[in-house]
């Protein structure tokens, strides 16, 4: 009951934030941080719950963004239709990647996923005819909604509509992740993370569930990519580099592996901290790095990583 009250208060505050602080710049920063939260929730299924170290997660983000961008530019698919194939395509790529590589573990898996992320980015850079090459895709349509008396209204460049779109999407994705983590599938993922051999001996289909985790995590990133493309109107391969994958992984680790609220808190913290330190100019990234070191020294398991899904035992990633 207390947890429900806390979630309700948090949701109401999030929805009221643009009214409490209407500064467009602040709203845009929070929108970006919530978009990171969507990505962190997806990666948390792969790394936090299943224990698979993934260093190329930005590739799924890019696949979703380019899928929606191409569908919109060439076939005029609106955002409210285009986000679904974007999510499905990224999810299918997650399964396709997992099928040949999930038999390896630890450092080898990290190297393979890192290579996958770079391959996707370089492929989008070199396919000039379809993706625009280094210049990317230009003129992607913004979402439009129908309002009584006004007809179809374009989101345009206003920060507030995107904030509500991303906030509601984050809430829905978080709810789905909670249901997944408490289901039989979620418990099986945790069993694989803790001891893959024991899980296999207990009759858990390890490879199939790993592929499912890859597919679900990829689909969530693809959804985030579609929102990103619709918001920006322009996407380039440089937006989906290795640094983004590391940042999303850092958000998951900082919040606590396997923790859904931790993934959101970690994304909000790392998404807004560089902007909060902008006044220090040249020392901003140095202070950002030092802040991360201090936090991890004080909370080595992350903010919400001290317990394993309500059981009181320490959480770790068994596959690494």
Q: Is the pLDDT of residue 149 over 90?
A: no
Residue identified by tokens 């999810």 is 91
At residue 274, the pLDDT reads: 84
Confidence of residue 104 (pLDDT cuts 50, 70, 90): confident
Span 85-91, mean pLDDT? 98
User: Environment class of residue 215 by beta-carbon count within 10 Å: exposed (0-12), middle (13-18) or buried (19+)?
Assistant: buried
Span 136-155, mean pLDDT? 91
**Two structure tokens written together for 127:** 């396919």
Q: Is the pLDDT of residue 305 over 80?
A: no
Q: Could you tell me if 260 and 75 are in contact, meaning their C-beta atoms sit under 8 angstroms apart?
A: no
User: Environment class of residue 183 by beta-carbon count within 10 Å: exposed (0-12), middle (13-18) or buried (19+)?
Assistant: exposed
Confidence of residue 281 (pLDDT cuts 50, 70, 90): low
At residue 284, the pLDDT reads: 74
Find, among 63, 309, 30, the residue nearest to 177 by Cα.
309
At residue 82, the pLDDT reads: 96
Q: Could you tell me if 261 and 7 are in contact, meaning their C-beta atoms sit under 8 angstroms apart?
A: no
Q: Is the pLDDT of residue 102 over 90?
A: no
What pLDDT digit, counting tens, does each position of 7-38 carry?
Answer: 788 888 888 888 888 899 999 999 999 999 99
Q: Is the pLDDT of residue 245 over 80?
A: yes
Distances (CA, A) of 115 to 97, 132, 197, 268: 11, 22, 27, 28
What pLDDT digit, counting tens, does each position of 179-201 carry?
Answer: 999 999 999 999 999 999 999 99
At residue 13, the pLDDT reads: 84
Confidence of residue 278 (pLDDT cuts 50, 70, 90): confident
4-13, 40-49, 183-192, 269-278: segment of lowest average pLDDT: 4-13
What pLDDT digit, counting tens, does each position of 53-66 carry?
Answer: 999 999 999 999 99
3-state secondary structure the chain: CHHHHHHHHHHHHHHHHHHHCCCHHHHHHHHHHHHHHHHHHHHHHHHHHCCCCCCCCHHHHHHHHHHHHHHHHHHCCCHHHHHHHHHHHHHHHHHHHHHHHCCCCHHHHHHHHHHHHHHHHHHHHHCHHHHCHHHCECCCCCCEEEECCCEEEECCCCHHHHHHHHHHHHHHHHHHHHHHHHCHHHHHHHHHHHCHHHHHHCCCCHHHHHHHHHHHHHHHHHHHHHHHHHHHCCECHHHHCHHHHHHHHHHHHHHCCCCHHHHHHHHHHHHHHHHHCHHHHHHHHHHHHHHHHHHHHHCCCCCCCCCCCCCCCCCCCCCC
| Model pTM score | 0.92
Confidence of residue 285 (pLDDT cuts 50, 70, 90): confident
At residue 246, the pLDDT reads: 93
Task: Give the chain's mean pLDDT.
Answer: 90
In the chain, the percentage of residues whose pLDDT exceeds 70 is: 95
């Amino acid at each position: 009951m207390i947890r429900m009250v806390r979630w309700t208060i948090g949701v109401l505050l999030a929805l009221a934030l643009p009214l409490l602080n209407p500064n467009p710049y602040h709203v845009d920063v929070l929108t970006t941080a919530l978009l990171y939260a969507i990505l962190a929730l997806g990666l948390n299924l792969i790394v936090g719950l299943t224990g698979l170290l993934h260093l190329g997660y930005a590739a799924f983000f890019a696949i979703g963004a380019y899928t929606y961008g191409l569908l919109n530019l060439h076939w005029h698919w609106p955002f409210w239709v285009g986000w679904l194939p974007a999510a499905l395509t990224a999810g299918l790529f997650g399964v396709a990647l997992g099928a040949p590589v999930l038999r390896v573990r630890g450092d080898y898996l990290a190297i393979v996923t890192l290579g996958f992320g770079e391959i996707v980015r370089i492929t989008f850079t070199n396919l000039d005819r379809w993706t625009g090459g280094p210049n990317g895709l230009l003129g992607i349509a913004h979402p439009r909604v129908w309002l009584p008396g006004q007809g179809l209204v374009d989101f345009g460049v206003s920060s507030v509509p995107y904030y509500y779109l991303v906030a509601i999407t984050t809430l829905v994705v978080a709810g789905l992740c909670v249901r997944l983590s408490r289901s039989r599938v979620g418990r099986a993922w945790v069993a694989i993370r803790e001891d893959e051999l024991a899980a296999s001996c207990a009759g858990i289909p390890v490879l199939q569930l790993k592929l499912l985790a890859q597919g679900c995590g990829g689909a969530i990133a693809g959804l985030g990519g579609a929102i990103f493309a619709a918001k920006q109107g322009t996407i380039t391969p440089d937006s989906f580099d290795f640094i983004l994958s590391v940042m999303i992984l850092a958000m998951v680790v900082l919040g606590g592996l396997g923790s859904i609220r931790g993934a959101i808190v970690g994304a909000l913290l790392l998404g807004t901290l560089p902007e909060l330190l902008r006044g220090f100019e040249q020392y901003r990234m140095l202070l950002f790095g030092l802040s991360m070191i201090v936090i991890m020294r004080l909370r080595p398991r992350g903010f919400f990583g001290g317990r394993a899904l309500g059981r009181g035992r320490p959480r770790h990633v068994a596959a690494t």
